[in-house]
Amino acid sequence: MKAAHRKESGQQMEKLRKTVNRLWDRVPHYREKMERAGVGPTDIRSPEDLGKLPFTTKQDLRDAYPFGLLACDREELLRVHASSGTTGKMTIVAYTKNDLDAWKDCMANCLSIAGVTPGDTLQVMFGYGLFTGGLGFHYGGEHLGATVIPSGTGFTERQIQLMQDLGSTAIACTPSYAVHLSEVLASKREGQPGPGHSLKVAILGAEPWTEALRQTVQAGLGVPALDIFGLSEVMGPGVAIECPRQDGLHLNEEHFMAEIIDPVSGELLPDGEEGELVLTTLTKEALPLIRYRTRDLTRIIPGRCACGRDGIRIARIRGRSDDMLIIKGVNVFPTQVEAALGKVEGLSMNYALEVSEHRFVKDLAVSVESVSSLGELQMERLEREAVRALHEALGLRVAVKVLLPGSLERFEGKAKRVRVTSGA
Ligand SMILES: [Zn+2]
């Protein structure tokens, strides 16, 4: 099977060569890395040659803070965003005028694939500020010709009022916030007919989420929930998005090349095999990235999508290799826990993971809310079912506590579901 980046496209190759030249000429760090790898711009003649180039890592970006990897003049920058990352130092992402235009195009294209059209009203419930989510959707929506409501995060009652009064047809937020929003909406509308909104789609991203969570959001809001993917380091949201077929995310190939590698050996993997997503930017001027290791685990879905688009699709992100927990020697992704909980009827998608450590061995406990208020016996039954589902999914016995609805913290931005406590 052919590997991801082997797509014959003269345009893509031209853009790749330009990007490599730009970095070679303007960024000493990249030039040194390429020289160490024994590769230069003239060696990049076919898509296969991408594999000769060295990887770029999050650490490269941290070491270069703030502008060490800049491939344009400082005066050409129109905007800067920053990513705090889950661990360690901030990293900066910077944009020239052309970079901002390309981002707008990417986002408008994504929104259009999701079915948003000019005249739609897009309510952006992502954070505005250093985080790329809010402004990314904002300018993409305007560029497409939609009416954008920059409502930002939180203030759920007000979000719902805006949604109803202004007739929002699309919302953008994190999946966990969409769950919360649908719960509040349901409690306000108890006994009233109709959904209480004019939405036709919810576009969700910025954290890994499962099919189980998708079903919860779709049942709660009554509209399709589509997955959008991006990361601040390469641009922000808009790298890839699902179409209404919900069968993988279409990559914006005008601006990005994707590879899937074995996260340990760094070897390229064939289409269909799961590994780490590696992205190369094709049009960026300020901070082009060659073979950026995203840490996100996914695979290339071979073949053409039922929607008719034939470009590269990536599967929904299963998790970040950084998020992987090692519980009693077993690798566990939070999304696996979410998927297992989703199989138990009566459990909600509001859950939290607590990792404790005792003598260097980590243990996991899960708290999850029930959908409705239940008696003690029913709660215990749900707990037993959840323990069984988790054992089946992970091969581990995990303690589960089922809580009444509303017991756990709700999140306005990215959910923080994992808490680590250290024992003796
Ligand atoms: Zn499609």
Integer Cα distance of 71 and 211 in angstroms: 40
In angstroms, what is the span from residue 68 Cα to ligand 1's centroid? 38
Residues 76 and 86 sit within 8 Å (Cβ to Cβ):
no
pLDDT digits (tens, 9 = 90+) for 40-98: 999 999 989 999 999 999 999 999 999 999 999 999 999 999 987 656 688 999 999 99
DSSP conformation class of 146: P
According to CATH, what is the number of the domain 1-321? 3.40.50.12780
Q: Please give the angle made by the CA atoms of 409, 323 and 242, to the nearest 5 degrees.
A: 85
* Helix ranges (DSSP H) in 146-282: 156-165, 175-188, 211-221
CB atoms under 10 Å from CB of 422, counted, come to: 9
Higher pLDDT, residue 8 or 45: 45
Nearest to 57 by CA among 88, 13, 16, 99: 88
Tell me if the pTM is above 0.95.
no
In angstroms, what is the span from residue 224 Cα to ligand 1's centroid? 14
The pLDDT value given to residue 5:
47
In angstroms, what is the span from residue 174 Cα to ligand 1's centroid? 21
Asked if the bond preceding 66 is cis, omega within 30° of 0, the reply is yes
Kindly report the average pLDDT of the chain as a whole number: 93
Residues 346 and 374 sit within 8 Å (Cβ to Cβ):
yes
| pLDDT bracket for residue 414 (50, 70, 90) | confident
In angstroms, what is the span from residue 6 Cα to ligand 1's centroid? 20
| pLDDT bracket for residue 194 (50, 70, 90) | confident
The pLDDT value given to residue 402:
97
The pLDDT value given to residue 182:
94
The helix (run of H) or strand (run of E) holding residue 382 is helix 376-394
In angstroms, what is the span from residue 148 Cα to ligand 1's centroid? 25
Place of tokens 């708290």: 367
In angstroms, what is the span from residue 189 Cα to ligand 1's centroid? 34
pLDDT digits (tens, 9 = 90+) for 382-403: 999 999 999 999 999 999 999 9
CATH 3.30.300.30 occupies which residues in the chain?
Answer: 324-422
3-state secondary structure of 63: helix
CATH 3.40.50.12780 occupies which residues in the chain?
Answer: 1-321
- Which class is 324-422 in CATH? alpha beta
Integer Cα distance of 352 and 409 in angstroms: 9
Place of tokens 């609805």: 405
Rg (CA), the chain: 22
Residues 303 and 360 sit within 8 Å (Cβ to Cβ):
no
pLDDT digits (tens, 9 = 90+) for 86-140: 566 889 999 999 999 999 999 999 999 999 999 999 999 999 999 999 999 999 9
The pLDDT value given to residue 85:
62
In angstroms, what is the span from residue 272 Cα to ligand 1's centroid? 17
Integer Cα distance of 140 and 100 in angstroms: 10
In angstroms, what is the span from residue 95 Cα to ligand 1's centroid? 29
